[in-house]
Structure 1
Amino acid sequence: MVVKQLKWLLAELAQKEDASNLSLTLSLQLVTGSDPALLAQFIQHMHTVFSMKELGTVSYFLGISVNALSQGYFLSQTKYATELLHKAGLTDCKPCSTPLAVKASYSPSSSSDELPFSNPSLYRSIVGGLQYLTITRPDLALAVNQACQHMHLPTNADFHAVKRLLRYVKGTLHHGLHFTAGPLSLHAFSDSNWAGDSVDRKSTSEYRALANATAELTWLQQLLKDMHIFPSSVPELWCDNISAMALTSNPVFHSRSKHIEIDFHFIRDKVVAKVIALKYVPTTDQVADIFTKPLSTSRFLYLKDKLLVQPCPISLQGSAKIHQTQVQQHSQQHSHTSVQSQVQLEAESKLQSQLNKKSAMITDSSQL
């Protein structure tokens, strides 16, 4: 009955207003909208249908703190992260600068590390909580993903890795995502980590990663379309592997790429139809690196900034201030905004030259 009333209410509003201006999201406790006047009208209609109480502007919802700033919103999960630290008994632990060591691996270094962890339920509970924490902390994604792979039978070594991750969380408790108003555009970065594989296999894995990223972009485009939200530009897919990009722009296959022909057609059709723009990004600016491999502290902080993971601008305390200082120092060391456009032009020019050579090589090998 409630669902029917909501559908009737939304249909009535859609008839009174241009449907393209209606962009409302309703949850159990939260209502958001892009049009303040239409949102007020919607709430007024809700009062006539339901017995409800308004709690004012959202500040905390489902474990996520929402801070309204002069230039957007800051979303964080400080309270939720603190509860995870308390559950693990690491409230007073020493913070560390990254969630993973550069040479970290889950291979045990001693006989005790090989033993099953004595409290697997605690391991699963903490890792499950860390999964939810990635909503506002995408910089944790790789470490959490690795921890999730050992849920069925965690060892002491696995729990040691989780404790290192929690130490990083301790040092960045007040960090979260900062959203600002602006034109909506979709950008995706595609990358894969096949360390030790041959060049050909690496290109193949990069190419399949492009196919997966293309599928995700296509889904997001359709979702936004259903919500009557239209990006300001064609979605851009960034890749740092020239060989993988060459396969999307050259219709001629050689013997080593026949097994990925279906994926090739999917990506190529999207690029030809100009539904997605495929672009080259230098490896140094490949944001997806933070999701595929452990990184040094300086490299990790640099890419973390690009994910818009920042300290809360209105509540900088303790280790958060220290981390902000580290980020500022690192940003100064790696500042390149004044020459970014020139670097991009040079990179695209170099890419085009290499793509032409690669296409010629593929064509010649197919003719043989």
Structure 2
Amino acid sequence: MQLPPGFGRKGENRVYKLHKSLYGLKQASRQWFLKLFAALKAGGVSQSWFDYSLFVRNIEGRFTALLIYVDDVIVAGNNLQDIIATKQFLASRFKLKDMGQLRYFLGIEVARSKQGIALCQRKYALEVLEDADFLGAKPSKFPVDQNLVLTQGEGVELKDAAQYRRLVGRLIYLTITRPDLVYAVHILSQFMDRPRQPHLEAAYKVLRYVKQTPGQGILLPSTGQLEIKAYCDADWARCKDTRRSTTGYYIFLGNAPISWKTKKQGTVSRSSAEAEYRSMATTCCEITWIRNLLRDLNVKHTHAVKLFCNNQVAIHIASNPVFHERTKHIEIDCHVVREKVQRGLVKTMHIRTQEQPADLFTKPLGSKQFSTLLNKLGVINIHSNLRGSIEERNPL
């Protein structure tokens, strides 16, 4: 911002003192959050230590949770009167617009039925296809070709890199409810600096897959025990440029998928067992955070979390405290797995590679194997599988 004419003198440097937060200023979001935080604290709501956008209140078994995104708030609880009272309290402090039952939030569509809650981004996916002029494109049954190998120096460099960055950025947001896209988008996002023609063609392949199933999303079932199950996998030396391995994990709460990720490892692993062990360490960190978050949500999880891995050597390293000659170079932070196992918080278990759902997050698969593992992830298309069965129900 510039000083108005006549307020500044030659040689003077002045700054503005902010008395009230305004949209567009760098301080505005921080000032708004402090004001909202003070109001919620006065209303007896406490902030979660593990997710600063989550606020909870638990009084004599009546639980209320508020999830904040800037000035948008989701209110949920097990007592309708407390939810109404919370809305009235917020309305007394701020100018509030009650949107009713949750149906659409930040591009995520919410549908309820007796089977559970379905989340998808169909409207957003169609907007992405329209923006890229792919609404009439030929659909594809899988997002990545099995033999696809992308490198930084292969192909002709794109003249308009902004087009590629915009497309990949929009696909990243689509992975919120689309775990089937995570690996493909992870690969594409590695070439944002200097994208080339093969990278753009691979992105178009993802768009054709989205065209096949724009309404695909996840189902949070209303039945099942609230126990955490985690699956982790690694692909040794997957990156051809750096020879670093790829980590992937997928976590369930009961039968509901709640967390997934694909990430390139920070260092080069000397063996596939080391890569798998590092993947287990990353998954254990996520498990620890989820357990703490569940505690804030008034969900007790007393059992050891089952961590499934398809590498027997990595499982032995995690459970056996005896010194291993070939693993003495591994950083100490990776041994978080061994600590969790010894404390009884995590229980490592073996799973066959053909049945490992996390395999979907570490490497490109064939059409048959991709479809088989996708069915294990709790991914559905409500516009085809459950058409006519989804109905609006009361909020949780």
TM range (shorter): 0.7 to 0.9
Offset, 1:234: 2.5
| Aligned residues of 2:183 and 2:363 also touching (Cα < 8 A) | yes
Match of 2:126, SS state, is helix
Aligned-residue sequence identity (percent) comes to 33
Runs (4 or more) in structure 1 with deviation over 3 Å come to 11-16, 47-51
Q: Distance in 1 between the 2:58 and 2:64 partners? A: 14
Offset, 1:264: 5.9
- 2:316 equivalent to 1:246: yes
Please identify, of 161-170 and 70-79, the stretch whose mean Cα deviation from structure 2 is larger: 70-79
- 2:153 equivalent to 1:85: no
| Aligned residues of 1:248 and 1:264 also touching (Cα < 8 A) | no
Higher helix share: 1
Q: Which residue of 2 aligns with 1:48?
A: 92
Offset, 1:91: 1.3
Q: Distance in 2 between the 1:14 and 1:58 partners? A: 18
Q: Distance in 1 between the 2:145 and 2:271 partners? A: 26
> Could you tell me which of 4, 29, 49 is aligned with 2:72?
29
Q: Which amino acid aligns with 1:231?
A: H
| Aligned residues of 1:236 and 1:278 also touching (Cα < 8 A) | yes
| Aligned residues of 2:58 and 2:64 also touching (Cα < 8 A) | no
| Aligned residues of 2:117 and 2:220 also touching (Cα < 8 A) | yes
Output one character per residue of 1:74-131: Cα deviation in whole Å (capped at 9) or x when no partner: 11111111111112121100001100011011259xx9x7211132111000100000
Offset, 1:301: 1.0
> Could you tell me which of 219, 223, 231 is aligned with 1:189?
231
Q: Distance in 2 between the 1:251 and 1:171 partners? A: 49
Distance 1:191 1:96, change over 3 A: same
Q: Which residue of 2 aligns with 1:344?
A: none
Q: Which residue of 1 aligns with 2:391?
A: none
Output one character per residue of 1:133-165: Cα deviation in whole Å (capped at 9) or x when no partner: 000101100000000001001111110000001
Structure having greater relative contact order (Cα 8 Å, sep ≥ 6)? 1
Distance 1:91 1:247, change over 3 A: same
> Could you tell me which of 49, 64, 71 is aligned with 2:115?
71
> What pairs with 1:127-276 in structure 2 (closer than 5 Å)?
127-182=168-223, 183-194=225-236, 201-231=271-301, 233-260=303-330, 262-263=332-333, 265-276=335-346
Q: Distance in 2 between the 1:233 and 1:164 partners? A: 42
Q: Which residue of 2 aligns with 1:5?
A: 39
Offset, 1:298: 1.2
Q: Distance in 1 between the 2:122 and 2:44 partners? A: 35
Match of 1:271, SS state, is helix
Q: Distance in 1 between the 2:221 and 2:72 partners? A: 23
Q: Which residue of 2 aligns with 1:61?
A: 105
Distance 1:300 1:11, change over 3 A: closer
Output one character per residue of 1:233-279: Cα deviation in whole Å (capped at 9) or x when no partner: 33221111001111122222232111126246422221111111111
Q: Which amino acid aligns with 1:83?
A: E
Offset, 1:188: 1.3
| Aligned residues of 2:57 and 2:65 also touching (Cα < 8 A) | no
Q: Which residue of 1 aligns with 2:12?
A: none
Show structure 2 runs of 5+ residues with no match.
1-34, 47-54, 244-268, 388-396
> What pairs with 1:87-106 in structure 2 (closer than 5 Å)?
87-106=131-150
Q: Which residue of 2 aligns with 1:296?
A: 366
Distance 1:179 1:16, change over 3 A: closer
Q: Which amino acid aligns with 2:322?
A: V
Q: Distance in 1 between the 2:363 and 2:157 partners? A: 26
Please identify, of 299-308 and 159-168, the stretch whose mean Cα deviation from structure 2 is larger: 299-308
| Aligned residues of 1:208 and 1:263 also touching (Cα < 8 A) | no
Q: Give the aligned length.
A: 312
Offset, 1:316: 2.6
Match of 1:31, SS state, is strand
Match of 2:345, SS state, is coil
Higher strand share: 2
Show structure 1 runs of 5+ residues with no match.
322-368
Please identify, of 281-290 and 99-108, the stretch whose mean Cα deviation from structure 2 is larger: 99-108
- 2:185 equivalent to 1:115: no
Distance 1:94 1:11, change over 3 A: closer
Q: Which amino acid aligns with 2:235?
A: N
Q: Which amino acid aligns with 2:37?
A: V
Output one character per residue of 1:197-241: Cα deviation in whole Å (capped at 9) or x when no partner: 9x9711111111111111111122222223433236332211110
Q: Which amino acid aligns with 1:26?
A: L
Q: Distance in 1 between the 2:100 and 2:147 partners? A: 49
Q: Distance in 2 between the 1:261 and 1:107 partners? A: 28
